[in-house]
Amino acid sequence: MSAPRIGVSIVTMGDRPQAVEALLASVAMQDVRPTRLVIIGNGTTLPDYAATPGLEDLDGGVTTIELPENLGCPGGRNEGLRRLAEIGDVDVVIELDDDGLLVDKDVFRRVRDHFAADDRLGIVGFRIADEHGETQRRHVPRLRAGDPMRGGQVTAFLGGGHAFSMKMLAETGLWPAEFFFTHEETDLAWRALDAGWKVLYEPELLLQHPKTSPARHAVYYRMTARNRVWLARRNLPLPLVPAYLSTWTLLTLARTRDPKGLRAWAGGFAEGVRTPCGDRRPMRWSTVWRMTRLGRPPVI
């Protein structure tokens, strides 16, 4: 396979201008140049990023998209992916959090080489680490998360830094925009696996990212519960839906000490049950078995 053309997509709400500038500088220093860079203003206007040093001479240039409202992370990313698909000069798209930073200069080259070597590779997930080199347990996409440097095929990936095959996205569809926040990565990974694509965790691909807690967002508990219900309803064979939701209910009750958070979680769970979840396309039982062999059956 010839070397795939790389595109980069970054979504920002305009509240981290210095972090975005640092991220763009780290994109500019890569030893493989992207064909195109798309920056999406999610409910915000954008400065003239086309003049960013090192990016002003990209073959495809810098494309900016200013959305009139915040569509959430998956909705904003979809706008960038649609634009890249329309333009048609990108084979692999790398999506990066706007407060992330590429420390190494060979990230894009490694991504390119992974996709060039395997035409059934659909997703490559990066390792997320803070400025001290620590990777939080929740950022390791496997159950046994003790060693974040152990890579290989997995059943999930990290939204902060990853790469997609555009051919895969044409087959599986884009992000579930209705999720708005949380679990959209799992939904997309499950659809990719069910379509026969591979998901790879490559810890050598590092995205430096500030250490954070997802609970910092006011909507965390409600959307976490709602989206888990939607995830199960959309993707799992019927016998696995109660098993998956029961497992996560027990884990939530065991882990959550905030009564207010639990009330919000219960409200989100009820919302997930009674509201439309989008198209239901249950995965094949062969996919369930494949995920089980990869170490994470879709019940946890």
**Which of 94, 43, 40 shows the shortest CA–CA distance to 62?**
40
Task: Report pLDDT for 216.
Answer: 54
Average pLDDT, the chain: 95
pLDDT confidence of 105, banded at 50, 70, 90?
very high
Whether the per-residue pLDDT at 222 is higher than 90: the answer is yes
- What is the pLDDT, as a whole number, of residue 215? 58
Residue 218: pLDDT band by 50, 70, 90 thresholds?
low
Tokens 């995830």 -> residue: 231
Which domains does the chain show, CATH number per domain?
6-212 (3.90.550.10), 215-282 (no CATH)
**Pairing, β 36-42 against β 198-208:** unpaired
Question: Could you report the per-residue pLDDT of 185-213, keeping only the tens digit for each?
Answer: 999 999 999 999 999 999 999 999 998 76
In this prediction, residue 125 carries a pLDDT of 98
The confidence score (pLDDT) of residue 121 equals 98
Q: How confident is the model at residue 35 (pLDDT cuts 50, 70, 90)?
A: very high
Whether the model pTM is above 0.75: yes
The answer to whether residue 1 scores a pLDDT higher than 80 is no
4: confidence class by pLDDT, cuts 50, 70, 90:
very high
- pLDDT of res. 130: 94
* Gap between the Cα atoms of 130 and 209, Å rounded: 5
Q: How many whole angstroms separate alpha carbon 209 and alpha carbon 244?
A: 30
Q: Which residues pair with 164 in a beta bridge?
A: 93, 123
| pLDDT band at 58; cut points 50, 70, 90 | confident
- 51 band by pLDDT with thresholds 50, 70 and 90: confident
pLDDT interval class at 254 (50, 70, 90):
very high
What local confidence, expressed as pLDDT, does residue 217 receive?
Answer: 53
CA gap 108, 115 in Å, rounded: 11
> What would the pLDDT profile of 169-189 be if each residue is shown by its tens digit?
999 999 999 999 999 999 999
Q: What is the model's pLDDT at position 212?
A: 75
The rounded distance, in Å, linking the Cα atoms of 138 and 143 is: 9
Q: What mean pLDDT is predicted for residues 269-276?
A: 98
Residues 6+ apart with CB under 8 A from 125: 141, 154, 156, 157, 158, 161, 162, 199, 200, 201, 202
Look at 110 and 50; give whichever has higher pLDDT. 110
Mean pLDDT of 78-92: 97
User: Residue 148's closest CA among 136, 156, 130?
Assistant: 136
Average pLDDT, integer, range 217-228: 88
* Mean pLDDT across 237-248: 97
User: How would you classify the pairing of strands 161-165 and 121-129?
Assistant: antiparallel
pLDDT in tens, 122-175: 999 999 999 999 999 999 999 888 899 999 999 999 999 999 999 999 999 999
- Say if residues 32 and 6 touch (Cβ distance below 8 Å): yes
